[in-house]
Structure 1
Amino acid sequence: MSPKAIPQGIEKGALRRATAREKATLDAKRNPLSIARRIKAAATAAGLEDKRAEDGKTWVSKARQYIDALAEDKAKLTPPDGAKPISAFWTYGIEHPKAPKNDQGVPFLSQRFIAEEWAARQNKPAPGAAQTLETTQGGRELDDMFLWEPEVIKALGGAEAGFPQGYAKATWAKISETYAGLAEGRTLVFGQTADTRSILHQQELGELCKNPNVGLHNIDFVYEAPRSWPEVTRTEAGTNAVRAVAQFDNKDLPHYIDPQGFASDTPEARKAKIDSLLESAPAQAQPQAQAQAQAQDQAQAQPQAQAQAQDQAQVPPQAQVQAQAQAQSQAPAVKAAEQQATPKSPASPLWQMGFQQPQTVTRPQRTGPAPVAASPGAPPLASRPLATGMDGPA
């Protein structure tokens, strides 16, 4: 069955979120000093002071120290006690005629707001069921600093105060890595593939693979593989596991798959390529407590097995049959109790990339030269970064 379009309710909610964010960003650009004062006040409240850098010539402002610490503050990224939400991640966005325009004049809806709206709807019937980085305490605080805006960076003191070019992306990369390291269980990626320039590719996916509570098998992409790919590529290289490891936009970097070239390979060559990629995925770490418990279990396993074998040898055959029958009769009740005690997690959506265009709307014909086709293996134009931002070009 073909994946459905993004639900209209989520589409409308995401547009409202994008519009509200656009307004807040414009306010921050008009009054960046108020943002800078708020950050410095938080740094002062944390007991920080301006200090000299290690070179003895430059200085690092208390605001920079505060933000750096925030990006690694696990407490502000950890859900409340007992909550185990599905952690959602996102990358880039989709063109939408009603979305705010980016810095290239294109109406562009970030996947961030689609992910946030999805999480909010999951949390209505089951609070704490889903989250995104920007909905955590630390993510909200960093988001409200508007570090992507040059006016805010200037108000904070610029490079002389420890805020060089590229600081915003580096900081978001660090907090994203921290967030991924704290995820548990199944995670969702709101994107089609991970572009090599994205924080998703550079930090988050690798950290999720290493995370002892997640691993490669728990990474699910919300969108189906690109329909521009040949069917065999969609089927074999469009799985969640492969898309979490491979990249499809830069042949000069590791883990590259050319969607067109892949389809022309022999089945044996395709399998070898996939196997090699999956083997290169960062290994899932084992929790220290679990490793210690496993070692103890193994140490005790042999004597326990021997004792159990001796006990079974002394039990009359009729008693063994009765014990097995009793265990089988209790199994359904035990299983039902376990299912009732374990809360159900939200189902993973599987959507097409893009929105369902109203049939009553006729898209105007393009004028001027024909658009330039994307290079082989590049994501669809609608999913390419069209502006700077958290997952845009550095």
Structure 2
Amino acid sequence: MSPEPIPEGVEEGALLRANARQEATLGAKRNPQSIARRIKAAATAAGLKDQPAADGKPRVSKARQYIDALAEDKAKLTPPDGTKPISAFWTYGIEHPKAPKNEWGVPFLSQRFLAEEWAAQQNEANPGTAQTLETTRGGRELDAMFLWEDEVIEALGGEKAGFPEGYAKATWAKISETYAGLAEGRVFVFGQTADTRSILHQQELGMLRGNENVGLDNIHFVYEAPRSWPEVTRTEAGTNAVRAVAQFDNKDLPHYIDPQGFAADTPEARKAKIDSLLEGVAPTQAPAQAQPQAPAQAQAPAQAQPQAPARAQPQAPAQAQPQAPAVEADAQQATPKGPAAPLWQMGFQQPQTITRPKRSGPAPVAGSPGAPPLAPRPLATGMDGPA
């Protein structure tokens, strides 16, 4: 049975969160000095001081030192005593007509806000059962620094103060890695696959696979595999275990699976490829944890499903769709064996290419800021950086 579309309640709550974040970001861009003063005050309170340039080493401001320490502060990422939440991870997002527009004018809903709304609804019913990085103490503090905004980096002193280009993504990558290392039991991934340029692929999944309290068997993707894949690829390479190891966007990097080519292989070749991919990635017996229940029934909005190569058109309004998957309050229930079925379909169309406004001046080098992406990829924002 195919998963249902994203529940209406989660979708609506995520849109509210996305629009609130957009307003907060605009405020930070208008007054970046206030953000910088707050960060510097926190650094001063922590007893840090600017380190002047010496012996060929650049100056490192107290603000940079404070942020670096925050990204590795396990205490601020550890759940409160007496709770054992399911940790959610996310990557990229989906095009949504009611979402704020990104810098290319595309209405875009980050998976971050879907994950946060899902966690909020779980915690409303059963406190302490779900979390995302941005809902931890450390994640909230770093998120409130708006380091993705150039205006804030400039207000902090820019490269001269230890904030080079790419600092925001590097810092979020570090705190994401720390967060993944602290996860226990089943974890949820809000995304269909892990693009090789995402923090999910580069830091989080590897840490989760190697985390003895999580392991391969406890990594679960919330969404089914892309519907643009051939059915045999969806069935055999769209499992939680394969998607937690494989990548599907860059043939020049390890663990690559070509969805179309895979389907054209013989059954024996497909099995050998999967066996080789998972070889050495041993499943780990993780501690028992709260598990999702079967969704209850509710009304959901019309959804559009990805098709290749044309964009999907909205379907007729769906009837009797599920609410957000619930998490049981009893955290001591044994972890069920075998992979869990995906909870949702992706929902609105996730475009693989984006028409961007032309920039003046010389053409940028591939892979550099402003250049076309190296390969078709989903829309991105937040921790995964701009597409």
TM-score (norm 1): 0.76
Matches within 5 A, 1:209-220: 209-220=209-220
Whether the 8 Å CA contact 1:77–1:179 is kept in 2: the answer is yes
- Pair 1:225-2:225 in alignment: yes
273 and 162 in structure 1: CA distance in 2 versus 1, 3 angstrom threshold: same
Partner SS for 1:44: helix
Q: Corresponding residue for 1:193?
A: 193
Which letter does structure 2 place at the counterpart of 1:155?
Answer: A
Matches within 5 A, 1:266-305: 266-281=266-281
- Pair 1:246-2:246 in alignment: yes
Q: How far 1:271 sits from its partner (Å)?
A: 0.5
Whether the 8 Å CA contact 1:28–1:152 is kept in 2: the answer is yes
Whether the 8 Å CA contact 1:93–1:109 is kept in 2: the answer is yes
Deviations 1:123-164 (A, max 9, x none): 111100000000000000000000000000000000000000
Q: Corresponding residue for 1:84?
A: 84
Whether the 8 Å CA contact 2:28–2:35 is kept in 1: the answer is yes
258 and 57 in structure 1: CA distance in 2 versus 1, 3 angstrom threshold: closer
Q: How far 1:392 sits from its partner (Å)?
A: 3.2
Q: Corresponding residue for 2:332?
A: 342
Distance 1:126 1:46 in 2: 35
2:346 to 353, 370, 393: 353
Matches within 5 A, 1:98-117: 98-117=98-117
RMSD over aligned CA atoms reads 2.6
Q: Corresponding residue for 1:325?
A: none
Whether the 8 Å CA contact 1:153–1:163 is kept in 2: the answer is yes
Is the radius of gyration larger for structure 1 or structure 2?
1
Whether the 8 Å CA contact 2:218–2:286 is kept in 1: the answer is no
Whether the 8 Å CA contact 1:385–1:392 is kept in 2: the answer is no
- Pair 1:257-2:250 in alignment: no
Q: How far 1:391 sits from its partner (Å)?
A: 1.0
Matches within 5 A, 1:1-394: 1-52=1-52, 55-281=55-281, 342=332, 350-355=343-348, 384-392=377-385
Which letter does structure 2 place at the counterpart of 1:218?
Answer: N
Overall identity of the aligned pairs, in %: 82
264 and 6 in structure 1: CA distance in 2 versus 1, 3 angstrom threshold: same
Q: Which runs of 5+ in 1 are unaligned?
A: 288-338, 357-377
Q: Corresponding residue for 2:311?
A: none
Distance 2:214 2:53 in 1: 38
How many residue pairs get aligned? The number is: 319
Q: How far 1:177 sits from its partner (Å)?
A: 0.1
Q: How far 1:267 sits from its partner (Å)?
A: 0.8
Q: How far 1:2 sits from its partner (Å)?
A: 1.2
Distance 1:103 1:345 in 2: 42
Distance 1:385 1:355 in 2: 13
57 and 344 in structure 1: CA distance in 2 versus 1, 3 angstrom threshold: closer
Whether the 8 Å CA contact 1:385–1:393 is kept in 2: the answer is no
Distance 2:186 2:286 in 1: 17
248 and 387 in structure 1: CA distance in 2 versus 1, 3 angstrom threshold: closer
Q: Which runs of 5+ in 2 are unaligned?
A: 288-328, 350-372
Deviations 1:248-279 (A, max 9, x none): 00001100000010011111110110011111
Deviations 1:60-86 (A, max 9, x none): 000000000000000000001121100
Whether the 8 Å CA contact 1:387–1:393 is kept in 2: the answer is yes
Whether the 8 Å CA contact 2:185–2:286 is kept in 1: the answer is no
Q: How far 1:390 sits from its partner (Å)?
A: 1.5
Distance 1:340 1:159 in 2: 49
Q: Normalized per residue, which structure has more helix?
A: 1
Distance 2:330 2:386 in 1: 47
Distance 2:341 2:139 in 1: 23
